[in-house]
Structure 1
Amino acid sequence: MYAFKRIVASFTLCPALVGVFTFGYFCTLELMARTTSMSVLETVIGTFWFGILSAVTSLVFYGIPAFGLAMFYAYFQLRRCVLHMLIVCLAGGTGALVWGEVLPMETHHVGQLLPGRSDVVADGALCAAETEARQLEPYDRAPANRLSDRAS
């Protein structure tokens, strides 16, 4: 007998794991670094609710495709073998790509920080340098002008 309900529930709740990992990461990071004056209990409670909020948010945004893929996996009764794991990986990646197109979010600014995008970063640095050069006074650009101004 195939565990239909367990498979559907497990894969549908996968996006909520983000909240669990977020809670663990931020709680550990804050308790080790102690960058704020909050007590240990306040830190744990604060990061716990932050994890809950991120889990609920991820379920709201990504619960629909996760449920669809869970139904797909349960319909075909996938087992633990290499071929079925490959199908789950490819279906999950494709589902995430398609859902990213269905639910567009403004992430174009994130692309500037990715490796291999030095052209965008260099263009941004060039634009910043040009803007700064325009803001400078004419005598600040050339040191010779300052000396001639003092001599006269």
Structure 2
Amino acid sequence: ADSFPYTWFFVETLISGKPFVDSSILRYGNIWYIFTATTRNATLRLYYAKELTGPWTEHPESPIIEGNAHIARPGGKISIFDGRIIRFAQDDDPIYGKQVWAFEITKLTPEVYEEHIADKNPILKGTSSGWNADCMHHICPCQVNNKWIASVDGGRQMPR
């Protein structure tokens, strides 16, 4: 950005070749990683690079999730809490962004990827009324002055 956050300019297309959605970028262990879904919401791909502008290489274990719309599409910024890497996933079955799951990434290198579900319950879901009656599909936690805040996104399918 020339004048953050107001004046942006194009620098580089990081990855191409597929219709990617809801990509999340993480720098970890001096390596850049991109977690991204394809438009069918059931496949999660992982790419890595030494520099943000590339070149980017698809991870040898990618796609890391295939054929599972419940947990493939990224649901927010990958975050590190007390040394634990957390990946958020939208549950897109039976509707887009029904709820958000959290997964702990336990191994992340250019050669190896492992994760497990962080909690048996979704961390966000619709509230049955109001602006997020039917779904919650994004969370962006940020640490500010040793406290955590988060922006979230949800919705309702039709007026009630």
Q: With the length of structure 2 as denominator, give the TM-score of the two structures.
A: 0.20
Q: Which has the higher Rg, Structure 1 or Structure 2?
A: 1
Structure with the higher fraction of residues in helix conformation = 1
RCO higher in structure (CA 8 A, sep ≥6): 1
Structure with the higher fraction of residues in strand conformation = 2
